[in-house]
A and B are shown apart, each in its own frame.
Chain A
């Protein structure tokens, strides 16, 4: 666990070898589960169960993934997840921008209590509200529907606070100058404030997208068996359960479910790090 800093002396050759081997060793352990499942998914049924040969990259085939794709209707599930996540992300960005703007730039009656109300919602975990949200969704006829998946997640208190934090840091003169020029609230928000907070919005967007894509409890309670509206996360469970003849299909499903997110994160690595560390470093 010893720490060296690059600025203090150069690393010696042997230590370098040692560190590389340690890095490689640890990387192998971290990646092993993904590797094992990926290779099982790339093998035909009998090969995928022939351990440890299943770990050798030979006799690869797409037949398992193809079968999982068809039998699990994964294309449909992926499209559902994508649609729901995109709409929720867009919605959260809009509602967060608007509410954050009101809190940062507007003066209105009961601002304090309303702010506390927002704060309070942050303390209520989703695991608590599901019982009655399911009832609400039912009375609206939203069980087994996109509305049921989307609407309850459209407002994010976390998003409001994140964006408000950025807005508060914008120089006050900016807003004053704008209102002297007769620029309305919405135009100022759209043309000045929002563009200036783009990095934060990017991080918020990425996190909302990931959070929605990965959500499990609420989708499993609001989508009750209707496969046309199911998301990929709850659809995966179906590949696993109750049919012995589909034993290895779940590996194919896992690859299909995880791949888009891996790609997304490689592309948006910077936003991801920024978003994850926002809470820890900035406070």
Chain B
């Protein structure tokens, strides 16, 4: 009897061994045609001379749906619209507050909320048939191309034109992040970028100025050395390789700081991206630098961060082997301070947390925005589209953005929100909340300041995250990045074939 279960195991083992000998390709390369990339033809209006260039949108710009923003004025009764948002926990509660306030402020539009995670909301949206789609959906920056390819939304730019909405107060980089080929697809709602969190106590104990965080990668290494040598903290820096942070997104950030494109087609914004460039010298340099930090004992790797999203931040509060610095999204600042105020961690209190810009190659400033934007969905119903636009203008209004930023740690999408309470007071009493904003303002006015756009950006980040985890474990940097780039390019090719 005992042998039967082992026999099952052996049988399966044998089967998979046989298979392993004969194959081992990439799962996304499966199928007959996948190995022969053939960029789908489309009436191309792409600039430049590359034959492979395909427009970023399969629908010609003048065939995009209109945004009849005046339809609400003539409508009678209450228009019900649905908003799928992606803010969980305390962030979600803020969205509920804003929405309740909007519903109470007028009687023409009533908004119903459905909340998911970024991944859930995106997957739901793609799954849903046309009639089941919401009127408004909030999706992260990495979904831009995929959303454009659904050809199911009303470009926000159309609404801006139709209503003469004034966008001059908006951060130009925030708007540019959601535009390709001159079409403003969606409007930013919550924006963030990675900043450096550090323990001021550890800095002081190491003889560093607790109010001067490192600006460049070299400085970050020197600071780490001093911190470790002085025994102020076991490690200088805590690294992680989550796909939406240290494993993928930060590399895009470092490319931006280095004023380099991350993909061809000018980050996929003038023509559809066909290959990634993260294995370029800048990528190799930064990865070699991080690997060296780890090998020299100056940094510690907490691994894939996506299970909690804050393992690296906890490393700052570890009572046995803490790190003095880590990089994390600015959006977590509010939560970090709340936790530390609870007094759970003797290692570090809320006032001991320092925040600085994310150090980059040669100390160059600038950052790409992360976070998410709002997409009005093309329901074919003018009144609902107009109602959705009305709600959008509320959510990105100066007063609401001030409230939103103060409560969450996200950056306001518009400059005039800074002069309004409550965020004005927040900034005045705690300048740490302004670091991410200033970092964004410092972004050079260059096309590289708008991040990469490609259909499978989420998957590409995931591939890069795997590669970075390998690099952190000591793998050869160039070979690993090259292999990851090859896999990523396969994903992009496959996506472009399937979706154009």
Contact = CB atoms under 8 A, between A and B. Distances in A.
Interface stretch (B9-17, B118-126, B224-232): B118-126
Nearest to B125: A224
B35 interface: no
Interface stretch (A116-124, A164-172, A235-243): A235-243
A246 to B, nearest CB: 6
A143 B115 CA distance: 13
Given A138-B129, A224-B124, A244-B310, A238 B344 contact: no
A138 B335 contact: no
A171 to B, nearest CB: 35
Nearest to B84: A225
B91 to A, nearest CB: 8
Given A135-B127, A240-B308, A244-B313, A225 B120 contact: yes
A45 interface: yes
A138 B344 contact: no
Contact of A242 (B89, B129, B342): B89
A224 B116 contact: yes
B335 A244 contact: yes
A275 to B, nearest CB: 23
A78 B127 CA distance: 28
Nearest to B128: A138
Interface in A225-250: 225-227, 238, 240-248
A135 B129 CA distance: 9
B342 A138 contact: no
Contacts, number: 77
Contact of B343 (A46, A238, A246): A46
Most buried by B among A48, A49, A144: A49
Nearest to A248: B344
Given A141-B132, A225-B84, A245 B124 contact: no
Most buried by B among A135, A241, A243: A243
Contacts of A139: 129
A134 B127 contact: yes
Contacts of B84: 225
Nearest to B93: A71
Contacts of B120: 224-225
Most buried by B among A144, A224, A244, A248: A244
Most buried by B among A48, A134, A144, A242: A242
Interface string A245-266: 1111000000000000000000
Contacts of B313: 244
A80 B339 CA distance: 31
Given A225-B114, A225-B120, A244-B313, A143 B339 contact: no
B132 A138 contact: yes
Contacts of B314: 244
Nearest to A246: B89
A131 to B, nearest CB: 11
Interface in A65-88: 71
A238 B117 CA distance: 10
Task: Determine the interface band of chain A, counting residues with CB < 8 A from chain B.
Answer: 20 to 34
A245 B127 CA distance: 32
Contact of A244 (B124, B129, B307, B332): B332
Given A45-B342, A241-B308, A244-B313, A224 B123 contact: yes
B309 A49 contact: no
Contacts of A143: 124, 127-128, 132
Contact of B116 (A45, A225, A245): A225
A49 B344 contact: yes
A50 to B, nearest CB: 9
Contacts of B295: none
B336 interface: yes
Interface in B286-313: 307-310, 313
B117 A242 contact: yes
Contacts of A244: 308-310, 313-314, 332, 335-336, 339
A242 B344 contact: no
Given A49-B344, A224-B124, A245 B339 contact: yes
A135 B132 CA distance: 12
A46 B89 contact: no
Nearest to B90: A243
Contact of A226 (B114, B117, B335, B336): B114
Interface in B98-118: 114-117
Contacts of B150: none
Nearest to B343: A46
A243 B336 CA distance: 9
Contacts of A248: 344
A143 B123 CA distance: 12
Contacts of A144: 114
Contacts of B117: 225, 241-242
Interface string B321-342: 0000000000010011011001
A71 B91 CA distance: 12
Q: Which 7 pairs show the lowest CB-CB distances between chains A and B?
A: A225-B116, A243-B89, A244-B310, A245-B338, A224-B124, A245-B335, A244-B335
Interface of B: 84, 86, 88-91, 114-117, 120-121, 123-124, 127-129, 132, 307-310, 313-314, 332, 335-336, 338-339, 342-345
24 contacts: A45-B343, A46-B342, A134-B127, A138-B128, A141-B132, A143-B128, A224-B124, A225-B86, A225-B114, A225-B116, A225-B117, A225-B121, A226-B114, A226-B115, A238-B88, A240-B308, A241-B88, A241-B89, A241-B308, A242-B117, A243-B335, A245-B90, A246-B89, A247-B339
Interface of A: 45-46, 48-49, 71, 134-135, 138-139, 141, 143-144, 224-227, 238, 240-248
Given A224-B124, A225-B120, 7 more contacts: A45-B342, A144-B114, A224-B120, A241-B307, A242-B89, A242-B308, A245-B338
